[in-house]
Amino acid sequence: MSEPKSSMRTPLGSVRGLGSARSGTEHFWMQRVTAVANIPLSLFVVGLIISTAGSNYSAVKATLGSPIVAIPLLLFVISATYHMRLGMQMIIEDYVPAEGTRIVLLLLNTFFSVIVALASIFAILKLSFGV
């Protein structure tokens, strides 16, 4: 008869599939997925900046108001701010030792990311709908 494998995991931890930080690999994968998504979206934004450089206000407003431009810009804002939040969350969790300070910083990180995303989305939609 073979001996059972010894494991340092608790039975509940084995069932949930969670690591020592009480979170699975979702955080890791979401950071990688947003990083990959940010590559073409960032190239689009850089190309947009280069193509509108030197243009007057009305030309830039017309360009940004196009749905073909607005949709990738919205995707960029959502992906970049979510990626930013995940990265700062990892830094805060790894390098802030005090539990209370860590919780406050994680809340501020989330609020800041949401405010940046909403303000950017509002501006893009306002330009897109011509309001």
Residue-level pLDDT at 20: 59
Residue-level pLDDT at 27: 85
pLDDT for 63 beyond 70: yes
pLDDT for 19 beyond 60: no
Tokens of 101: 């300070």
Which residue range is the domain that position 74 belongs to? 25-129
How many domains are contained in the chain? 1
Task: Confirm whether 43 is domain-assigned.
Answer: yes
pLDDT for 3 beyond 60: no
- Among candidate residues 30, 32, 118, the one with its CA nearest the CA of residue 77: 118
Instruction: Give the lowest-confidence range in 9-23, 46-60, 64-78.
Output: 9-23
Task: Confirm whether 69 is domain-assigned.
Answer: yes
Task: Confirm whether 11 is domain-assigned.
Answer: no
CATH of the domain at 125: 1.20.1300.10
Task: Confirm whether 56 is domain-assigned.
Answer: yes
Residue-level pLDDT at 91: 95
pLDDT for 8 beyond 80: no
Q: For residue range 81-131, what is the model confidence (pLDDT) as tens digits?
A: 999 999 999 999 999 999 999 999 999 999 999 999 999 999 999 999 877
